[in-house]
Amino acid sequence: YQQNPKTYTIVKQLLAEGNAGELQKYFGSRMEFGTAGLRAAMGAGISHMNDLTIIQTTQGFCRYLEKNFSDLKNRGVVIGFDARAHVSSGGSSKRFARLAANTFISQGVPVYLFSDIIPTPFVPYTVTHLKLCAGIMVTASHNPKQDNGYKVYWENGAQIISPHDKGISQAIEENQEPWPQAWDDKLIDSSPLLHDPYATVNKEYFKDIQKQCFYRNINKETNLKFVHTSVHGVGHKFVQLAFKAFDLSPPFAVPEQKDPDPDFPTVKYPNPEEGKGVLTLSFALAEKDGARIILANDPDADRLAVAEKQESGEWKVFSGNELGALLGWWIFTCWKNNSRDTRAIKDVYMLSSTVSSKILRAIALKEGFHFEETLTGFKWMGNRAKQLMDQGKAVLFAFEEAIGYMCCPAVLDKDGVSAAVITAEMASFLATRNLSLSQQLKAVYEEYGFHITKASYFICHDPKVIQQLFDNLRNFDGKNTYPKSCGRFKVSGIRDLTTGYDSNQPDQKAILPTSKSSQMITFTFVNGGVATMRTSGTEPKIKYYSELCAPPGNSDVEQLKKELDELVNALEKYFFQPDKNKLQRKTE
């Protein structure tokens, strides 16, 4: 019995050809449901995103929520989707969202299903705003066009963390047979349990982010021009509305990229993190319209890249760490100067992930607020921020180096829409002081100490080699000894979050949670350098992140860069050993 003629035809064709290899690929193993939910290519079979796997996943999630919330049928869930679609398998984010809604509604659970595409941060916002039990966003963010994903938020408005992923995963295994009317998504249209939060959330979200608008008069007057690109994703309309909410003139939108297009025709990868390649059309439009600043969202608008034209005529694309430094400085300064917040500075917090720059730590030390680092990923920062807020603390800002920023307490996840408009207000304010973003970044480093970062990765498709590489680091000079130096650089501390060891703690136990399933070791060096090596959860990569933190007053940037380059070269040579381990370098 066929429910989706397109995937059915694909499988029938493979059977007719007797293509066992491809069938094995499609049906050999089920997609794994982790803390990031699902992320895979759209297509036939249980290893791909399709109608059936979405129904099965949602049935499991629904049962898991029923077990955890006695009031699920009063409160309900929210579901949003981006503009992704896959012609050959008939899959699309909208179709998947409707099937998921149908699953919940068939069990008597109210569903707040957005009637149109939205940015990912609107889902966590809605969970919090409407006090729902959970949220689902159907998106593959900045992944290649054939992919899709299913991202899950808990009642606290943050992405799920363990053990929920294991609980949901088990419930999916136990609920694989589609329920009676699972495929008939037309049923939802006449159901009293279906609600559309689109209009309310569009009004309330833009009202809430205005609490971060401090210089309306400057915004009205500024003659600074901005270019915005949504890279064929969902961001265009929402960034335009955000500028309006802050009384800024609308940014010039890159015409070829402003409308959603699941084929992402003008870019190789729809990921603004890839830097200048994705911004080619933005540079051209900025030159034509005399704009000095470019704001680029990824396709689901939860991340933001920023570029600024320098005096030399060159464009500077800020790294995630540099924009994190600027936004951290700006948001703290606005809090200090304009806040109606009566809380003492000792109740103010900022967060960043452990592989991101420690610049916020330096600002916090000097200004007297708290800084905390979390494990990698916004799920950790969102959950920690909620804990702190529940204790009456103010969490002003959180960021990660992968161009993710949380600038508003109303969204406990990264949000590229609020980050874009807050960056625009900061730039407009600085322009009244005749300062560019680059000049202000230098001023931040001069005041709080230069923080130079460098990150890259090696590709390795052999899990055994990866395991060996990390085992070697744990048994470097004989059994159970970590390296005491890396080339000429002496090691002063080691934290291994795979095993839970931390040489800097009195009991040698790491404070951050440990995970045996992924590799992650951080080395601290006598010269003020820090380097983390870790495996990627989603790709065959071993990544490294390095930083040199200088105390204020040491402003010989070239010397610091040279020192960091040498440290990174030593790290690659002695710790990665790319030739011995046959690792493939990141190609520019």
Active site residues: 141
Closest alpha carbon to 351 in 319, 397, 386? 397
In the chain, the N- to C-terminal Cα span, in Å, equals 48
What is the amino acid identity at position 366?
K
Closest alpha carbon to 371 in 345, 390, 391? 345
- Which contacts (CB < 8 Å, 24+ apart) does range 463-468 have? 465/581, 465/582, 465/583, 466/519, 466/535, 466/542, 467/519, 468/581
3-state secondary structure of 385: helix
User: In sequence order, which residues have a C-beta less than 8 Å from that of residue 314 and are 6 or more positions away?
Assistant: none
Q: How many other CB atoms sit within 10 Å of the CB of residue 433? A: 8
Q: How far is CA 10 from CA 43, 51, 55, 499, in A?
A: 9, 14, 19, 45
Helical (H) or strand (E) element with 305: strand 304-309
| Whether residue 163 has a cis bond before it, omega within 30° of 0 | yes
> Contact 234/259 with Cβ under 8 angstroms?
no
What are the counts of helices (DSSP H) followed by strands (DSSP E) for the chain? 18, 25
What is the amino acid identity at position 235?
G
How far, in whole angstroms, is CA 91 from its chain's centroid? Answer: 24
Pairing of strands 451-459, 584-585: antiparallel
> Contact 377/400 with Cβ under 8 angstroms?
yes
The tokens describing 14, both together, are 């493979």
How far, in whole angstroms, is CA 332 from its chain's centroid? Answer: 22
> Contact 225/287 with Cβ under 8 angstroms?
no
> Contact 144/269 with Cβ under 8 angstroms?
yes
Closest alpha carbon to 347 in 409, 399, 408, 389? 389
Q: What is the C-alpha to C-alpha distance for residues 502 and 506, in angstroms, rounded to an integer? A: 9
CA dihedral over 503, 509, 514, 515, signed as positive or negative? positive
Q: What is the C-alpha to C-alpha distance for residues 42 and 82, in angstroms, rounded to an integer? A: 14
CA dihedral over 52, 517, 411, 308, signed as positive or negative? negative
Q: What is the C-alpha to C-alpha distance for residues 235 and 6, in angstroms, rounded to an integer? A: 30
In this structure, what are the phi and psi dihedrals at residue 336, rounded to the nearest 5 degrees? -65, -40
